[in-house]
Structure 1
Amino acid sequence: MTQLSVNVNKIATLRNARGGNVPDLVRVALDCERFGAQGITVHPRPDERHIRYQDVYDLKQVLTTEFNIEGNPIPSFMELVGRVRPHQVTLVPDAPDALTSSAGWDVATNRSFLTEILAQLKEWGIRTSIFVGTDLRNLEEAASIGTDRVELYTEPYAALYAEDRERAIAPFVQAAEHALSLGLELNAGHDLSLENLAFFSASIPGLSEVSIGHALISDALYLGLEETIRRYRSCLRQD
């Protein structure tokens, strides 16, 4: 069964808008675990406009499920993950001022840099994942430099889903099958929602994990956090 990792960045955004510690990020993350989430994801950026580096240390002390830290592996990010040693690090090529992640890595262009980063993460005993699109050659490059997983950037799927879900899913099925044939494990994330997740999950072979933040936290405003996580978990069940 595909694991659900809840990205809690939006909780930190809301907290930071007012100052103080309301809502309490750590409490929300623990509630996510209690309600059935199988992991927690954070994406600290250098300006700390949502997740702060201190949040990462605080979460590490209390989480009991998988902890996934994603981001661009600049020196301060690497220092952070070297201290925290999460279960997984997802490498994302976003600029410091990016509103949100908008593309995957061109692995061939960044081969030397990514190889060095992967080697360091593996030395620390951290599972590695590289954020990528559906280009098959790029997946081959990712496999060749030794990453454990790739995370498929699913915004193109989400954008096309309402118009033509079969056309939307086709390149992701092909990419997933190719990734698995190369020995890669498979994650996915970005703009997955209650509207499009069940079809994605049912269509993609070997999907280990999805990371969902914005849509899930938004749904929780209407449904409550416990019911929202229950519904997202239900989208991932194949029974």
Structure 2
Amino acid sequence: MALVLVAGALTSCTDGSVTPARGIPAFETVPHGEPSFFVTSRGLDGGDLGGLEGADAHCRALASEAGLGARDWRAYLSTQALPGAPAINARDRIGEGPWFNVENIRIAINQAHLHGDTLDLAREGNLVSQGSALTEAGERTGGKGDPVLRHDILTGSRVDGRAYGNEFDRTCRNWTYSGEDGSAQVGHSDRDTIGLSISWNSAHQTIGCTSKKLQATGGDGLFYCFAADPARYIETPERAE
């Protein structure tokens, strides 16, 4: 196995791969595998996604259109607690990883890596970024420097992938509402380690739940889709012994 020096520091992973100790890794330093992550290329009706079931169905439909296979596709969305209905955490819906984008690049090893559950993992960072957070069709979502900004990604989640309390609406009424009021928590698909796009899953709230309100803050009602069933690694010349 060859070691690749990136930004002056390396760490080795349990699967034998190497990633930099801090910052978003370079694509060529990470392993490859079957697609299990994408950003939806289109939304539904503002913040009304038909609840979690409707959002999951949208993930499956887009994955099928793109030929990504009949996997256990889930929307990365949290819901808030209601009387008789506990909150649901986005991180609890998507399996344990690893996850790879549609170009087979690994974006996270496991839940802890995806969410930066420790200080070291938070510093290392996952690989959800402008160049890797691709749609099911392999297209970039509009981010920094693009003509149309679409980087606000619906999540309803805190940075740790868990739901908010119910003091304020962070989920457009648990993804069933597309009215003028209400709000949704969004992340930035073009996250980086500087500037304002520092969180892929919890950057700010929207100013309403209509499509126009979501667009006003830099979004388009898009969300992340993950496969909850484990994806297989693909051997590449760089990883082959």
Q: TM-score, normalised by structure 1?
A: 0.26
User: Higher relative contact order at CA 8 Å, sep ≥6: structure 1 or structure 2?
Assistant: 2
Q: TM-score, normalised by structure 2?
A: 0.26
